[in-house]
Structure 1
Amino acid sequence: MRDGVEQTYPDHPRPKLNYPFDDPPKVGGEVRDVAPGVKWLRMPLGGALGFINVWAIDEGPLDENGAGWAIVDTGMGGTATRDSWRAAFQGALAGKGVSRVFVTHMHPDHIGMSGYLTRKFDAKLWITRLEYLTCRSLSADTGREAPDDAVRFFRAAGWDEDALEHYKARFGGFGRGLHALPDSFRRMADGDEVTIGGKLWRVVVGSGHSPEHACLHCPELKLMISGDQVLPKISSNVSVFPTEPDGDPLTDWLTSLARIRGKIPDDVLVLPAHNDPFHGLHARIDHLIGGHERGLARLHGLLAEPKRVVDVFHVLFRRVIDRNLLGLATGESLAHLNCLIARGQVTRTRDAKGVDWYRARA
C-alpha cells in the first residue's frame, strides 16, 4: 500500500538495491546534487512517509528566454511546503527563478504546490492530460457530500455502518492538499522528447497508480525520475475507486511495469518520490510484479469459499487494517479481485443486502 505497506512475504524477499547517497537532504529546503545540473530536495509530508523527494534541473540564468530551474514535482499544498520552497530559493536555488514545473502525476503530494510555483514565477505546468483533468475533477469534490454511488460501492465491499459514516465525514478532502491549480498546462505524452537543462529527456508513461503517470528518462545522464511508478522500499497504491467500480488498474500497473523494464536500461539511477535514489531498476520491477502475482495466487486460493472484500485483507497485507487504512486496503483488494475476474478466475455475485461475494471458478 502507498503508505508503506509492502506485499512482501518470506518467500519473496526484497532485492538488493544499491543506494549511492549516504547523506540525503534534510526536509525543508536543503539541497543535494545527484548529477550535473540536477538537484535533490525533500518537502514535508504528514503521516508515515514524512517527506516527498522533488527535483530541480538547472536550465541556466533566468532571462527573457525562460531559463531558470525546471522543477519536477512540488510537494503537498500548504504553508510547510511553501516555507520549504522559500528556504530553497533563499539558499541553494537562489539567484534563479523557475522556468517550468513538471508534475509526474495528480496526487496532492506531487501536484499540490504547482499552482504556487507557476504563479510566483510565471512558469508553465507540464503534465499529461489525464493527470491534469483527473486532478481538476477530484478537486471539484472538495466540500461535497459523499455521493450515493460511493456509499453503495463501499457497502458492497462489506463495510459496516460505522465505517460508512466515517467515510462520509471525511469525503471531499482531496482539494485541501492543493494550492489552487494552474488554469492551463502544457501536455506531455508518452514518447515525447523534451530538452531540459540542455539534455534530452524522454517521457515514459505508466498507469495503474494514477491514470497517465509520467516518468522522465535522461539517457545521457543515466537518470530516471520515477515519481511513484517505481519506489525502492514501498509499493505504490493501486486501487479501484467508486468512480470506476469495474476498473482493472492492476493489469494496467503490471503491464506498465513490464513496459518500463523493456524501455529503460538497468544502468539508470532511479530518482523516486519516496525513499532514496537507487540502482537496480529491473530487479525492483521484477520484485514488484512478482509480489503482486503471488498476492493474486494467494487471493485465488482463499476464494475456494465465497468472500467479501473485507474478508481478504490478511492474504494481501501483513499489517492489521484499521479504520484509517480501510479505504486503501479496500481499493487495493478490489484491484486484485477485478484482475482475477478479468483473467476469468473469479466470479462476483451481489446478495439481497447489496454486498458482493467473490468466489474462484471451479
Structure 2
Amino acid sequence: MDGFQTPKPKRPKLDYPHGDVRPELGETIQVAPGIEWVSMPLPFSLKFINLWLIDDGDSWTIVDTGLPLPETRSAWKSLIEARITRDKPLKRVMVTHMHPDHVGCAGWLCHKYGADLWMSRLEYITCRMLVSDTGREAPKAGVDFFCRAGWNDAQIDNYKERFGGFGRGVSQMPDAFHRLADGDTFEMAGEAWEVITGNGHSPEHACLYCPSLNLLISGDQLLPRISSNVSVHPTEPDADPLLDWMTSCEKLLERLPEDVLVLPAHNEPFRGAHARLRHLIDGHETGLSRLKGRMQKGPLTVMDTFTSLFGRAIQPDEVGMATGEAIAHLNCMVHRGEVVSIVGDDGVSRYQLT
C-alpha cells in the first residue's frame, strides 16, 4: 500500500547495519535484544514485508502480521510453535495500521493462539468498516469521485468489479482490542516503549519507540527507499492527507534522535531518520512546485498530473493509487489557497491557479 518513486531531491545517504541481508521465510534475524526480524512474502511489487517477533520474557509479542497467504500462515506456525509454551504464550499481536499487509493475519493469530489485539482506535474502526464493504456494490459516491478525476468507462467498470476487495485480504478481526494512543507507554522486550502516531498514509498509524534501545518500529510511517502512498479516498473527497503526512514527519523529527535505529515495514533497517524525514517533506514540496509550474500553462485534470508527479507513465494497475496520491497533492494546494477546482460540463474536475 505504498507509493511511487516520485522525482525528488537527491536521496540522503543512510546507514544500513544489516546491509541488504534479510531473513529467509520461516527464519529470523535478531536486530536488538529480544527483537527478531521476520520477513514474509507479498504478491505485488514490494515483494516482502518486515514483521517483528518479540520476546517479552514471560510471553511473546508480534508486531504486524503479513497477508493471510498459505505460506505466511505456515511460516508463522513454524516460528511461533517452536517458541510458545503453556508458561510462555503468544500474548499480544500489535498492528501499526490497518492495511492488509500489516493487519491481514492479525485476526487469525489472535483467534488461533488466544492473543490480544493492540491497535489504535481509528485503525481498528476503519479496518472493520472496510471489511464490511465486502459483498456490497460500489457506491455512487465512489463512482462520482473517480468520474470527476477523469476516469474512462473501462476504469470505472474495473473499480466496480474490484470494490470490496479489502476484506478478502484480512482474516476475521477480533471483536475487541486494546487501544494504542499517541504518548502511551508500555513494556516490551523488558524495556519501556512509547507510541508515536502519524497520519496521512493511514488514519492513526502507530509507531513504537524504545528510548533505551534507541529503536523505532516505524511501520509504513518512515521507509528508507520508497515514499508511503498518501491518498485521498472517495469516503472523504476534500481531505488534506498530504498536510497530515508532512506534519507527521515534522512530529517524528521532534521526537526521535537522529541516530535511532529504524525498523521499517519495507526495505532494510537503517539509521539516518532525520535526513530521510526531511527528504520526504522536500520531495512532496517539489511535487507541489512542479504542479504549479504545469498549471501556469493552463488547468489540469487529475490524470494530467501523473507525469509531473511521478516522472513516468502509470501502469493500468497503478491508476487507482496514482489518482489518490495526485488528488492529495491537488487538495493540499486547494487548502493552501493556491488552486481552485472547477467541474466542467463533462463532469471532470479541472484545477487552476488562483
Q: Same fold (TM over 0.5)?
A: yes
Matched position secondary structure for 1:234: coil
**Map 1:104-143 → 2, pairs under 5 A:** 104-143=96-135
Structure 1, 231-240 or 167-176: larger mean CA deviation: 167-176
Residue type of the alignment partner of 1:85: W
Structure 1, 26-35 or 253-262: larger mean CA deviation: 26-35
Check conservation: 1:24, 1:32, Cα contact below 8 A. no
1:47 matched residue in structure 2: 44
2:12 matched residue in structure 1: 15
Check conservation: 1:69, 1:100, Cα contact below 8 A. yes
Structure 1, 281-290 or 300-309: larger mean CA deviation: 300-309
Matched position secondary structure for 1:195: strand
Matched position secondary structure for 2:291: helix
Check conservation: 2:64, 2:96, Cα contact below 8 A. yes
1:63 matched residue in structure 2: none
Whether 1:82 and 2:81 are equivalent positions in the alignment is no
2:2 matched residue in structure 1: 2
> CA–CA distance in 2 between the matches of 1:232 and 1:257?
13
Q: Residue 353 of structure 1: CA displacement?
A: 2.2
Structure 1, 205-214 or 260-269: larger mean CA deviation: 260-269
> CA–CA distance in 1 between the matches of 2:116 and 2:311?
42
> CA–CA distance in 2 between the matches of 1:181 and 1:249?
26
Whether 1:26 and 2:17 are equivalent positions in the alignment is no
> CA–CA distance in 2 between the matches of 1:198 and 1:94?
17
1:64 matched residue in structure 2: none
2:300 to 300, 307, 311: 307
Check conservation: 1:8, 1:14, Cα contact below 8 A. no
> CA–CA distance in 1 between the matches of 2:33 and 2:128?
35
Check conservation: 2:23, 2:29, Cα contact below 8 A. no
Q: Which runs of 5+ in 1 are unaligned?
A: 61-66
> CA–CA distance in 2 between the matches of 1:195 and 1:89?
20
Q: Residue 260 of structure 1: CA displacement?
A: 0.8
Q: Residue 80 of structure 1: CA displacement?
A: 2.0
Matched position secondary structure for 1:55: strand
> CA–CA distance in 2 between the matches of 1:236 and 1:340?
19
2:159 matched residue in structure 1: 167
**Map 1:136-215 → 2, pairs under 5 A:** 136-215=128-207
Matched position secondary structure for 2:274: helix
Check conservation: 1:118, 1:125, Cα contact below 8 A. yes
Residue type of the alignment partner of 1:30: E
Check conservation: 1:238, 1:249, Cα contact below 8 A. yes
Q: Residue 2 of structure 1: CA displacement?
A: 1.5
> CA–CA distance in 2 between the matches of 1:206 and 1:69?
26
CA 1:28–1:203: 2 relative to 1, 3 Å: same
Q: Residue 318 of structure 1: CA displacement?
A: 2.2
User: How many residue pairs were aligned?
Assistant: 351
Residue type of the alignment partner of 1:54: L
1:288 matched residue in structure 2: 280
Matched position secondary structure for 2:330: helix
> CA–CA distance in 2 between the matches of 1:27 and 1:219?
29
Q: State percent identity of aligned pairs.
A: 53
Q: Residue 90 of structure 1: CA displacement?
A: 4.5
Check conservation: 1:313, 1:333, Cα contact below 8 A. yes
> CA–CA distance in 2 between the matches of 1:170 and 1:323?
14
How far does the alpha carbon of each residue in 1:217-270 deviate from its partner, in whole angstroms, 9 at most, with x for none? 000001000000000000100000000000000000000100111011112100
Matched position secondary structure for 1:324: helix
> CA–CA distance in 1 between the matches of 2:130 and 2:144?
19
Check conservation: 1:207, 1:252, Cα contact below 8 A. yes
Residue type of the alignment partner of 1:148: K
Check conservation: 1:33, 1:40, Cα contact below 8 A. yes
CA 1:97–1:28: 2 relative to 1, 3 Å: farther
Check conservation: 1:28, 1:83, Cα contact below 8 A. no
Measured on the aligned residues, the alpha-carbon RMSD in Å equals 1.3
